[in-house]
Structure 1
Amino acid sequence: MGFYLRTSLKAGPFRFNLSPSGVGISAGVPGFRVGTGPRGNYIRVAGAGTTYFGGGSPSPSSGGSRPTMPPAAPDSGVVMQEIVGTPVQQLVAAHPSDLIAQIQTAASRRHIWPWVAAALLILALLAAPYSLVLFMPAVPVVWWLRQRDIARKSVVVFYQVEDAPAAKYDHFAGSSGFVSGVERVWQAEAEGALHTAYQRKVNAGAGTLVRRSLGSLDLAGPPVLVTNIAVPSVHGKERSLYFLPDRVIVRHGSQYADLPYAAINARMEQQRFVETQAPPSDAQCVGTTWQYTNKSGGPDRRFKDNRQLPIMLYGRLTLTTPQGLLMIWDFSRPDVAASLANAVNRMR
């Protein structure tokens, strides 16, 4: 698949168009549109064609990959260590970025239109039987405010990637994790070592407990980023990773930071996991154990309802940086984790 997807982007009422001459922006409604671009300012009316006025000059395009525009079951005595790594604020301080500043500003803006819509609805109800008189002009006002909110919470970026960087990013976007799919992805949030024989006995003989949350893979990118390329993304409950051609964006809650690929090390290893829930259908079962085990690994008969549990083989992707970033993702298919680790390292 090619990662260069569109030459036109929409953010609220505004449309951005990329051409060999540069970038243009327009706004309007069906049948009427005004805008500006490399050829100058214009008005476009349905049936009357396009009228240009003023002048413009082509914007210089940038080369390379630069944008052309700004589970663990709880058990007494087990100490769980949170997997947090370096806070996002420290990453921002280490790698300041205009793009991240714009994304952070856009993400922090609040929607206005729901409050205006609620206020107008209450006013219309109080003004009965003249509600219709107020409702009719309120609809386009609310629509326009919603479009304005979308634009205010959007950062538009056109990427123009060529030659070797394009080949590497095309390989990344086409890696198996994002194309062929994987049934289950988890983000590891905390781990705790099982030190005593009793702790291991009541936890299926495992050596470590893991608290995890479900994740997902897609090509959507950050919600506030409007761009012309597919953005391979790994999402978790609190953390996400977005892989752009020239950088990796890290999200933790509502905070964002970015890192150069040269600073990221990706490592994949196979993970044997005692599954207490229904295992994913695309994962390999490599053995079984019991929820309560004895020293020989068999079932401990002193416990009632002692379930037999599958041991699944998963793939673990670990991302680290010298600045202390630590993110761990488990995949039901080890080959997907290996493909992603290889793709990240190739981008360095």
Structure 2
Amino acid sequence: MKKQVVPDTLIKVGRQGARYQQKTYQANERIHGTTQEALEEYEEVIVDRSAAEIIDQINRRVKSPYYSLYCGIASLIFLFIFYPLSIILAIASLIVYRADVARKTTPLFYEFSDEYSEKKFHESIMSFSNLAMTKTSWRLKSKVAVSDWKRNAGSNASLIRHRSKIGKQNPNLIKTNVDVWGVDAGSIKLYLLPDRFFVFQDGVYSAIPYSEIQASLQDMEYVEQDSLPSDATVIGKTWKYVRRDGGPDRRFNNNRQLPIVQYGVVVFSTQNFIAYLIVSSLGIASSFTQSFSRITASSSTPTEPLPTPAKQFQTALPEVNLPPEHLEPLKKAASEGSELSTSQIAQLLGVSSSFITKNPVSFDYEGFRFVRSGRSGRQISWKVEYLGTGV
């Protein structure tokens, strides 16, 4: 059998983008003596590749089987039949496993064509190292509405979150010559590489150009029932079992007071991908989204203006075509100077409450301006101003 030579991948990153090259080897046949014995030599050839071809190669290797698994199963079977053979098979399993890892691993070697590209990559690493200074982070997996808020510390939604780790990472079955920073959140992992933003999910890799990814910020009020991170901002207190007036429900003996904290939610999004990272420090999350957005904006066309910090918070609501009669209650509230709760506004505009609460000060929509004025019970209250346009 011919020995399989894994090609080395060279990625040249420059101001104009990334260029992908691979070393492949073509065999030259040579006849020796009268025995017609075929010997082979390999000549190194440089071939241009695309990013999609490189990712496809990585995933083919990642999904290829571990042959050491079969040796391990055989070793367990012979453990009860013939012990000495089981020991031999166990050693063989270790040797085959190392060969499996080498066969499945893709080497990626990066080379910077100019100082600009190298500086931009180091700035990206710095932004993630600053984000890693937060005490605790989680990946938001799902959000479920709850109806019995009295037994859920006054909350109308429950989150399922997974503890994550921000910092230097070792990408699964990828070997590279640069430091890799990112987020390890269990079933999904995010890796920062010089050419693209790598995502490992469901056992395969995908790579997102930096010009296509956006990092935005949301703030979240959360009733913390686990240990309280030292950098979290406490904005209030509630009870695990709460009455309508906010006091403790004394029917429960194990009722305890819980802190209400304000976390930052960093949202990584493209047209086909979105991931939510909850960060215990809202200030660190805000600083990260601003710096990372400037870096990704510089990866697109040079004429694009960089986003200002104010726009990072002022996220636009999705466009919804509503008939005028749906907005009459808003006109009435504006004319009377009355205030509306988040849920009331969400119902009138046809959007979710989260799209509204991520605006910390105010936002304009459908010809109205909504300004935070305080709290009404468990919800944020908003003053409504009619601008006279867009309706």
TM-score greater than 0.5 by the shorter chain: yes
Ranges in structure 2 where 5+ consecutive residues have no aligned partner: 11-20, 26-40, 298-391
1:230 alignment counterpart: 179
- Preserved contact between residue 213 and residue 269 of structure 2 (Cα < 8 Å): yes
1:84 alignment counterpart: none
Separation (CA, whole Å) in 2 of partners of 1:97 and 1:57? 23
Q: What are the superposed Cα offsets for residues 296-321 of structure 1, whole Å, 9 maximum, x if unpaired?
A: 32223344322100112221111221
Aligned-residue Cα RMSD (Å) equals 3.8
Name the aligned partner's letter for residue 292 of structure 1: Y
2:109 alignment counterpart: 158
1:145 alignment counterpart: 96
Correspondence list, 1:321-340, <5 A: 321=270, 323-340=271-288
Separation (CA, whole Å) in 1 of partners of 2:201 and 2:22? 33
- Preserved contact between residue 183 and residue 332 of structure 1 (Cα < 8 Å): yes
- Preserved contact between residue 106 and residue 154 of structure 1 (Cα < 8 Å): yes
TM-score (norm: length of structure 1): 0.64
- Preserved contact between residue 290 and residue 306 of structure 1 (Cα < 8 Å): yes
Question: Percent of aligned positions with the same letter in both sequences?
Answer: 27
- Preserved contact between residue 250 and residue 257 of structure 1 (Cα < 8 Å): yes
Correspondence list, 1:184-263, <5 A: 184-194=136-146, 199-263=148-212
Name the aligned partner's letter for residue 309 of structure 1: L
1:290 alignment counterpart: 239
Q: SS at the partner of 1:276?
A: coil
Change (3 A) 1:248 1:176: closer
2:124 alignment counterpart: 172
Q: SS at the partner of 1:182?
A: coil
Q: What are the superposed Cα offsets for residues 253-282 of structure 1, whole Å, 9 maximum, x if unpaired?
A: 213222111111111133221011122233
Change (3 A) 1:136 1:224: closer
Separation (CA, whole Å) in 2 of partners of 1:56 and 1:251? 34
State the number of aligned residues: 265
Q: SS at the partner of 1:167?
A: helix
Separation (CA, whole Å) in 2 of partners of 1:55 and 1:238? 41
Q: SS at the partner of 1:335?
A: helix
2:379 alignment counterpart: none
Change (3 A) 1:335 1:165: farther
Change (3 A) 1:297 1:246: same
Pairing partner for 2:228 from 279, 286, 306: 279
1:103 equivalent in alignment to 2:58 = yes
Correspondence list, 1:304-323, <5 A: 304-321=253-270, 323=271
TM-score (norm: length of structure 2): 0.57
Q: SS at the partner of 2:179?
A: coil
Name the aligned partner's letter for residue 244 of structure 1: L
Name the aligned partner's letter for residue 245 of structure 2: S
Q: What are the superposed Cα offsets for residues 122-141 of structure 1, whole Å, 9 maximum, x if unpaired?
A: 6698667xx49x978995x5
1:342 alignment counterpart: 290
